[in-house]
A and B are shown apart, each in its own frame.
Chain A
Amino acid sequence: AQKITQTQPGMFVQEKEAVTLDCTYDTSDPSYGLFWYKQPSSGEMIFLIYQGSYDQQNATEGRYSLNFQKARKSANLVISASQLGDSAMYFCAMREGRLFSGNQFYFGTGTSLTVIP
């Protein structure tokens, strides 16, 4: 089974509107971290936001927030007040805790976001 699933290959949003990018994950480890990255056309992966499996509150970083629904195993990224510079590829990722010797980073296939002026 896929560790990280991103079902939206492409999304469009109007400038200044909010947008939600979906991410579901699969793990049996009670300790894990969830991460979102942005990759503009330049290629560099930029870390956006982190959510730990034991965190009670949803993570927020400026205009980014993570809608963490543990029972549903979902970790959706919400971008508020979209800007033209938000147009990029967005990746959801997970790292499991110490129960598994591997604990590498697992990435989803990404969602391409286009902000329309």
Chain B
Amino acid sequence: KAGVTQTPRYLIKTRGQQVTLSCSPISGHRSVSWYQQTPGQGLQFLFEYFSETQRNKGNFPGRFSGRQFSNSRSEMNVSTLELGDSALYLCASSLIRGSTDTQYFGPGTRLTVL
């Protein structure tokens, strides 16, 4: 079974631009979560989607948004990029949302904002 895939793997943007990152979960998985990881702030939760609905949201400004499609694929969008948005963005999927459901991560998208 294929793992979680994320595209693109690397991205360079300039301040003020917007970016869309894509995540395809493991086949059959319905929950997708997004995380931002930076050396200074560590791993921070962005949001979680399940059955096309946002179930949880972290403490990020409205510039960060996401969505999930009927096939469970998810996208996250960052508008009006700032230098501080440079980070590794990780996507993770799990079967459903129970306490026994392991999250499996994709390889991440490394975003650099110049």
Chain A interfacial positions (CB closer than 8 Å to B): 29, 31-33, 35, 37, 42-47, 50, 52-53, 91, 93, 95-98, 102-107, 109-110
Contacts and interface: CB of A to CB of B under 8 A. Distances in A.
B98 A97 contact: yes
A45 B33 contact: no
Contact of A95 (B55, B101, B106): B101
Contacts of A104: 33, 45, 48, 55-56
Interface residues of B, number: 25
Nearest to B48: A104
B43 A110 contact: yes
B110 A43 contact: yes
B102 to A, nearest CB: 6
| Secondary structure type dominating chain B contacts | strand
A55 B83 CA distance: 45
B90 to A, nearest CB: 6
B48 to A, nearest CB: 6
Nearest to A53: B99
A98 B98 contact: yes
A34 to B, nearest CB: 9
B104 A47 contact: yes
A111 B35 CA distance: 18
A104 B45 CA distance: 9
A29 B98 CA distance: 12
A103 B99 CA distance: 8
Given A97-B98, A102-B55, A107-B45, 20 more contacts: A37-B105, A42-B107, A43-B107, A43-B110, A44-B105, A47-B103, A50-B100, A50-B102, A52-B99, A52-B100, A53-B99, A95-B101, A95-B103, A97-B99, A103-B98, A103-B99, A104-B45, A104-B48, A110-B42, A110-B43
